[in-house]
Amino acid sequence: MNFLNDKILNYSIEKSSSPSEVCNELEEFTIENHPLHRMLCGKLEASLLGFLINLSGARNILELGTFTGYSALAMAEALPEDGQVITIDKNKKISTISNQFWNKSEHGKKIHQLFGDGLEVLSSLNKKFDLIFIDADKRNYQAYFDKCLDLLAEGGFIVVDNVLWSGRVVPDFIEEVEADKSTKYLVEFNDYISEREDLIKTLLPIRDGIYLIKKDEK
Ligand SMILES: C[S@@+](CC[C@H](N)C(=O)[O-])C[C@H]1O[C@@H](n2cnc3c(N)ncnc32)[C@H](O)[C@@H]1O
């Protein structure tokens, strides 16, 4: 769910730096051809990710949840020439779409795709990342987060998507919609993060809710 009125959202998108034309084509292709296109992070979140990459000077990015490769390409576009996005997904079939569009972009070469179960692939990584974007299955959010915290470079930060889950995490916000299992996992995850005093965090009610989290290194 979008918490913003569509006119406000579109105005905000118009006034923001946006991903490239190839990225827009990839988004449109996904909307037209994939039944789960709602999983795309969308233009405003892609713009925010690009801004955060630019602001922080991030060079090494890890993404959990590639889908059709939209957010990976948007992040790669914001990286310098020597930057890299490593993106993980369990679904290999869908990579025909991501590769088709990444190959059309000069930034596609910055993306390295890994296939497999997120937790297993995370355990096999032995480098540090400046930004980690968690956007895969909600059941594993807390386990992903714990592993990702160990993979963060000094000063690095984690961005976690969908933490408001269309507002379901807020009791009584949506009437007549049953809380599904993901709601339970996300409520637990948000409580887990908010209660940790070793973390600096802010939850933005943009798109489906975006949690920005970093270690308190003071
Ligand atoms: C919300 S989509 C990612 C959207 C993408 N970040 C974007 O904005 O364009 C979530 C992805 O997570 C993947 N996924 C789900 N469970 C997973 C798991 N256990 N390990 C790895 N990937 C998983 C799904 O296959 C799906 O492509």
| Sequence letter at residue 52 | L
Residue 124 above 80 pLDDT?
Answer: yes
Where does the pLDDT of residue 3 fall: very low under 50, low under 70, confident under 90, or very high at 90 and above?
Answer: confident
Local structure of 127: helix, strand or coil: coil
Q: Return d(Cα 51, Cα 185) in angstroms, integer.
A: 29
CB within 8 A of 73, min separation 6: which ones? 19, 20, 22, 23, 26, 98, 101, 102, 105, 107, 108, 111
- Distance between Cα 103 and ligand 1 center (Å): 21
- Indicate which atom in ligand 1 lies nearest the CA of residue 41: 8
pLDDT at 8: 94
pLDDT at 174: 72
The order of strands in the sheet holding 129-134 is 111-115, 84-89, 60-64, 129-134, 152-161, 210-215, 199-204
- Distance between Cα 163 and ligand 1 center (Å): 15
Q: How much is the pTM?
A: 0.97
Query: Whose alpha carbon is nearest atom 1 of ligand 1?
Result: 39
CB within 8 A of 29, min separation 6: which ones? 68, 97, 101
Q: Kindly report the CA angle at 216 between 46 and 120, in degrees rounded to 5?
A: 60
| Sequence letter at residue 63 | E
- Indicate which atom in ligand 1 lies nearest the CA of residue 68: 9
pLDDT at 179: 62
- Contact predicate 118/66, CB 8 Å: no
% of residues, the chain, pLDDT over 90: 89
Displacement of CA 30 from its chain's centroid (Å): 17
- Indicate which atom in ligand 1 lies nearest the CA of residue 69: 9
pLDDT at 7: 94
Where does the pLDDT of residue 44 fall: very low under 50, low under 70, confident under 90, or very high at 90 and above?
Answer: very high
Residue 116 above 80 pLDDT?
Answer: yes
Mean pLDDT in residue range 96-125: 98
Among 26, 29, 62, 67, which residue has the most ligand 1 atoms within 8 Å of its CB, making it the best to mutate?
67
- Distance between Cα 87 and ligand 1 center (Å): 10
Where does the pLDDT of residue 177 fall: very low under 50, low under 70, confident under 90, or very high at 90 and above?
Answer: low
- Contact predicate 89/113, CB 8 Å: yes
Domains and CATH numbers, the chain: 6-215 (3.40.50.150)
Considering only residues 12 and 173, tell me which one the structure prediction assigns the higher pLDDT. 12
pLDDT tens across 50-70, in order?
Answer: 999 999 999 999 999 999 999
pLDDT at 176: 62
Residue list, ligand 1 pocket, CB within 6 Å: 39-41, 65-67, 70-71, 88-91, 117-118, 135-137, 140
Ranges of H-type helices in 2-92? 6-14, 21-33, 42-56, 70-78
Mean pLDDT (the chain) is 95
Mean pLDDT in residue range 12-18: 96
What DSSP designation does 1 have? -
